[in-house]
Amino acid sequence: METKNQKNGNIVAETANNTFTPSDSYNTLLKGNRDWVQRQLDSDAEYFTKLAKGQSPEVLWIGCSDSRVPANEVTGTKPGEVFVHRNIANVCVHSDMNLLSVMDYAVNVLKVKHVIVAGHYGCGGVAAALTNKQFGLIDNWLRNIKDVYRLHSHELERITDHETKVNRLVELNVTEQVYNVCKTTIIQNAWKERSDLHVHGWVIDLKSGLVKDLKVSSSGSKSLGYVYEVEKAEAAH
Ligand SMILES: [Zn+2]
């Protein structure tokens, strides 16, 4: 059975078999949480009562797992305003059940109006995909970005500066992932029902904090290419 005690100002979790003394960074999280709760309550005593009632975000954010690009901070939004999915290098794989489940819930239940694929310059995942080194299991994930490279190799192989090449691949990766999102039956079926769903591609510049809109937004399946378009689903017999 777990108990929690205060010891020298730190929280110590004790179990029957071991004693876990958290590091400073761990305790910083807990203190940060208590401070955040207090700040919220100071500005609005009903803040958490309202937050607990439910969510109605209008945005689905598909971003990179990188610790420097949190959706709410980057966009100046609050808890409750952005539904979030993140993975390494913001890749949208058409058979990723995690992503598809998030997208289906966001589009069909929450009825979000905007899906934003958000990459960032200097992305470590994209940079790793430009090498031939093995990093482990992640190599199989990064294969998806190598496919983006192959699609755009004529352009990328003309770029000699490494940082410029990484950053151009970041932009092309976001563009291709926007395209992948649009190809899903989730988005295409939603477009048959409503016209207020838009898919966008962004890149965050970590050196300035500013977002670059890649202007690849889409709100219909016309530009998908015939082979990817799906017809309206027929009712099951
Ligand atoms: Zn990244």
Active site residues: 64, 66, 68, 120, 123
Q: Which amino acid is at 172?
A: L
Residue closest to 167 by CA, chosen among 116, 214, 99: 214
Ligand 1 geometric centre to CA of 110 (Å): 27
Q: How many whole angstroms separate alpha carbon 103 and alpha carbon 225? A: 22
Ligand 1 geometric centre to CA of 16 (Å): 40
pLDDT value for 235: 66
Q: How many whole angstroms separate alpha carbon 138 and alpha carbon 215? A: 30
Residue 217 contacts residue 196 (beta carbons within 8 Å): no
Three-state SS sequence of the chain: CCEEEEECCEEEEECCCCEECCCHHHHHHHHHHHHHHHHHHHHCCCHHHHHCCCCCCCEEEEEECCCCCCHHHHHCCCCCCEEEEEECCCCCCCCCHHHHHHHHHHHHHCCCCEEEEEEECCCHHHHHHCCCCCCCCHHHHHHHHHHHHHHCHHHHCCCCCHHHHHHHHHHHHHHHHHHHHHHCHHHHHHHHHCCCCEEEEEEECCCCCCEEECCCCECCCHHHCHHHCCCCCCCCC
Ligand 1 geometric centre to CA of 216 (Å): 20
**Can you give the residue ranges of every domain in the chain?**
1-53, 56-221
The dihedral over CA atoms of 208, 209, 214, 216, expressed in degrees to the nearest 10, equals: 180
Annotated binding site: 64, 66, 120, 123
Instruction: Taking each helix axis as running N to C, give the angle between helix 162-183 and helix 138-151, from 0 to 180 degrees, rounded to the nearest 10.
Output: 90
Ligand 1 geometric centre to CA of 68 (Å): 9
pLDDT value for 3: 43
Annotated binding site for Zn(2+): 64, 66, 120, 123
pLDDT value for 119: 98
Ligand 1 geometric centre to CA of 167 (Å): 11
Mean pLDDT by 10 residues, the chain (237 residues): 47 56 86 97 97 97 98 97 98 97 98 98 97 94 97 98 98 97 96 96 98 95 80 72
* Token reading at 151: 């699609």
Beta bridge partners of 17: none
Fold of 56-221: Beta-carbonic Anhydrase; Chain A (3.40.1050)
Ligand 1 geometric centre to CA of 3 (Å): 38
What's the pTM? Answer: 0.88
